[in-house]
Amino acid sequence: MIHWLSNDPEDTRFPPTTAALPEPNGLLAAGGRLTPTRLLAAYGRGIFPWYEEGQPVLWWTPDPRAVLMPEEIRISRSLDKTLRNGGYTVSVDQEFQSVVEGCAAPRADAGTWITGKMARAYCQLHDLGHAHSVEAWNRGQLAGGLYGVTIGRVFFGESMFSRQRDASKVALVHLVTRLREMGYGLIDCQLPTSHLASLGARLIDRKDFESMLGELCPGEPDSADWPRPPAPPERPGPASERP
């Protein structure tokens, strides 16, 4: 039977992750509110929310877990060419809400799991300094990006999107470079995808994942501001305003 969480905004209690269902893989609990306190407590224990509109909040901790070690990122020849000659520029934390909206847009082969409540919750975490975005730009247009939550030296990836070829991959490569510079040891990818596998993501046992969290996540989340690069290029105005 699934454990139901209380609606107390400060309640951070979750059942042990060993109580998660094997099918569907990793379903641990339901209900509760998406408050910053609860979300940070969940991520620090390897638990994340994932549900669709009309459902209660569902909390997951799958086994095995998809992760990307920063030192294991794999860059193909074609991606390397895009990084060098694709015309992309990258910014950090300049358009967090726009990135969330891009990730929330329905995909060609699926709907969206990023509900309005989810989007507002992560924007609130961003305002508190716990969530960050990476934006890839091309000719002043937001071409793709990603966002996630940070605790200690772990980046918990939430979602990514592309409007132009390889834009989300460009954002991820720049994220990995930044995380290496800042001494991060782990990127949580939650669930495996061929897209992430092509970049070096792999599966590890949940108990090993939780052990890494114990080493890399401090007792309290770190809300220190990330160093920020220059602002992205100015977006072009309407055609009537262009020279």
**Model pLDDT for residues 46-67, shown as the tens digit of each residue:** 999 999 988 999 999 999 999 9
Domain ranges within the chain, ordered by starting residue? 3-63, 66-216
Percent of the chain at pLDDT > 70 equals: 88
Summarised one tens digit per residue, pLDDT across range 168-197 is 999 999 999 999 999 999 999 999 999 999
- Whether 82 shows a pLDDT value over 90: the answer reads yes
Kindly report the CATH number that applies to the domain delimited by 66-216.
3.40.630.70
The structure tokens listed for 21 are 């269902």
> Does the structure show a pLDDT above 70 at 133?
yes
Kindly give, in sequence order, each residue whose CB lies less than 8 Å from that of residue 130, ignoring residues fewer than 6 positions away. 36, 40, 149, 150, 151, 221, 223
pTM for this entry: 0.91
The C-alpha angle 116, 118, 122, rounded to 5 degrees, equals: 120
Query: Can you tell me the distance from the alpha carbon of 109 to that of 35, in angstroms, rounded to the nearest whole number?
Result: 30
Q: In which band, very low, low, confident or very high, does the pLDDT at 239 lie, cut at 50, 70 and 90?
A: very low
CATH topology of domain 3-63: Alpha-Beta Plaits (3.30.70)
Say yes or no: do domains 3-63 and 66-216 share a fold.
no
For the chain, give the mean pLDDT. Answer: 90
- Picking from 33, 45, 46, the residue whose alpha carbon sits closest to that of residue 4 is 33
